[in-house]
């Protein structure tokens, strides 16, 4: 199964080191290939460094693509992580 969803980065610092690490931790829990696309760049959600290279800021949109057996629960977990501001206070 392949799912695609556009999400807005709502946390104050964007996809910085802590947020990228939290995203990779969540992505590792699922049997799915999870890609994040920002502009013309894409990154494997399992790679903190690749996510950091996207250089996303608050208010920008990214496209999430989940492909694999756990695509649906992975997409749900990642969507919730974005909504929860990566568990940060701001």
In the residue annotation, 16 being an active-site residue is answered as yes
Q: Which of 5, 16, 18, 85 is catalytic?
A: 16
CB-based burial label for 2 (10 Å; 0-12, 13-18, 19+): exposed
Instruction: Name the CATH code of domain 2-87 (choices 3.40.50.720, 3.90.1150.10, 3.20.20.80, 3.30.1340.10).
Output: 3.30.1340.10
Residue 90: pLDDT band (50, 70, 90) is low
Q: Work out the percent of the chain whose per-residue pLDDT is above 70.
A: 99
Residue 88: pLDDT band (50, 70, 90) is confident
Question: Would you list the domain boundaries of the chain?
Answer: 2-87
Judge whether residue 76 has pLDDT over 70. Answer: yes
- pTM for the full model? 0.93
Q: Work out the percent of the chain whose per-residue pLDDT is above 90.
A: 91
How would you list the strands of the sheet with 2-8, edge to edge? 2-8, 61-67, 33-38, 41-44
The sign one gets for the Cα dihedral 25, 13, 77, 5 is: negative
């Amino acid at each position: 199964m392949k799912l695609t969803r556009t999400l807005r980065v709502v946390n104050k610092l964007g996809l910085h080191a802590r947020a990228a690490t939290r995203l990779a931790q969540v992505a590792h829990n699922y049997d799915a290939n999870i890609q994040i696309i920002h502009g013309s760049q894409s990154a494997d959600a399992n790679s903190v460094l690749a996510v950091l290279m996207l250089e996303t800021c608050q208010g920008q949109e990214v496209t999430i693509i989940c492909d694999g057996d756990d695509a649906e629960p992975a997409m749900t977990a990642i969507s919730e992580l974005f909504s929860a501001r990566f568990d940060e206070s701001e």
